[in-house]
Amino acid sequence: MSSFVDHARIHIRAGKGGDGAVAFHREKYVAAGGPDGGDGGRGGSVIFVPDDNLTTLMDFRYKRKFVAEDGANGQGKRCAGKDGEDLLVRVPAGTLIRDTESGALMHDMSDGKPYLAAKGGRGGWGNIHFATPTRQVPRFAKPGLPGESRDITLELKLLADVGLIGFPNVGKSTLLSVVSNAHPKIANYHFTTLFPNLGVVYAEEGSSFVMADIPGIIEGAADGAGLGHDFLRHIERCRLLVHVVDVSGSEGRSPAEDFDIINSELREYSGVLAERPQIVVANKCDILGEDRSAVDVLRERAEEHGYPFLELSAAAHKGIDRLVRLCMQKLSELPPPEPFTADYIAPEPVLDGAEDVVIKKSEGIWQLEGDWLKRVAATVNFSDYESRLFFDRVLRKAGIFDRLESMGIQDGETVCIYDLMFDYRY
């Protein structure tokens, strides 16, 4: 079984907020101590953290569910419950996080920053918050809100500066093993490389770059043929492509035609990828016969596209230093890769279930509770004005305010929705 995994589907759930406590102060010689129920703790969040030491999503093959810790319930003596521990999920630095349902990109972990993917639920208020001069003994508190939960698709796009592309068995793995500390499998048959390999290439002046060996691309790869189509995504981040072409004739193909076919597949897969700078490498020159016409034709084809052209032999270690220096020169002139732009938009809450919201009046306060209301409230940042306006629109659209008015709510009366209290205005 391959140890390289570049796709994974998982479920994440943030912790539920702890419930507020209903408690009253009881102390000797202290009369009418009043309410002192503490608030529930915040639920833990699920946070993705980039890790440069990881190069595969293998860890997610066997563990599919990630749940953060719930917040603890509030207690008496105004003691708040303990916040739940955040769950840190480590992923390779080049991982894309997508919403499984919509397929939209939520975040690109190549920016090197942690990403909060599911926010923990807020803790419920204890009864200390509901005491007023006219309601001195509130016998109710609020439950904690559920944390966010969603299905996530992880997609790995390796972070490499230089990508090796070309047909199978043209010497890409050999080249990577010669210029770097990588040890890819090397053999004289097609598709020896079954998954991408990464290696760090150290230049003479002490600088370095990362090179990726991509499994061989064949004609029709962009449409799903061969293995290459599974891994073309891994060269999307590469700033420079090294196009390795076998000019020895050992495969019975035309080097120039190979060059054209690979570039055609790149264009079919991504127009942006087709415009990526290339260095064309004529490999296996050590076993080339006296007829050099194939090399000359390939050189002309590369120069027509404006690509630098080099002759080398990876197996014989000839021309390697020149290639490394040229790669370093090109990389110094190219801008760093830009992270992919997130396009995920959180869906508005559906109205199904709004009719099940329970509305009751207790001790002069209109209390609203229900599973639908919990889900909606969990997505709202009540400290933000725009978020509160959004919450107001959702409640109006769901008919909650119409129900309150039909039940006789008066202008200025208090409405309590979990940890939000406000005066109702017509």
3-class SS letters over 288-332: CCCCCHHHHHHHHHHHHCCCCEEECECCCCECHHHHHHHHHHHHH
Enumerate the β-bridge partners of residue 279.
242
Task: Output the CA torsion sign for 116, 120, 123, 124.
Answer: positive
- Which residue type sits at 63? K
Tell me, yes or no, if the two domains 162-333 and 352-426 fold the same way: no
Q: How far apart are the first and last CA of the chain?
A: 65
User: Which range has the worst mean pLDDT, 12-16, 43-47, 350-354?
Assistant: 350-354
pLDDT value of position 55: 82
Instruction: Note whether 247 and 288 are within 8 A (CB).
Output: yes
Asked if the model's pLDDT at residue 190 lies above 50, the reply is no
Name the residue with higher pLDDT: 183 or 5: 5
**1-157 CATH fold:** Spo0b-associated Gtp-binding Protein; Chain: A, (2.70.210)
In this structure, how many other beta carbons lie within 10 angstroms of the beta carbon of residue 332? 9
For residue 47 the two structure tokens come to 């946070």
Name which CATH class applies to 352-426. Answer: alpha beta
Q: Given pLDDT bands bounded at 50, 70 and 90, which one contains residue 221?
A: very low
Name the residue with higher pLDDT: 416 or 117: 117
Asked if the model's pLDDT at residue 193 lies above 70, the reply is no
Q: Given pLDDT bands bounded at 50, 70 and 90, which one contains residue 217?
A: low
Q: What pLDDT digit, counting tens, does each position of 54-81 carry?
A: 888 988 988 999 999 999 999 988 899 9
Instruction: Note whether 180 and 212 are within 8 A (CB).
Output: no
Q: What CATH number is given for 162-333 in this structure?
A: 3.40.50.300
Asked if the model's pLDDT at residue 218 lies above 60, the reply is no
- Sketch the domain layout of the chain as residue ranges: 1-157, 162-333, 352-426
Residues in the chain: 426
> In angstroms, what CA-CA distances link 5 with 95, 327, 415?
12, 28, 51
Mean pLDDT value across residues 1-14: 81
Q: What pLDDT digit, counting tens, does each position of 315-368 carry?
A: 888 999 999 999 999 999 998 888 888 988 877 777 777 888 899 888 788 888
- DSSP E strands, 182-237: 197-202, 208-213
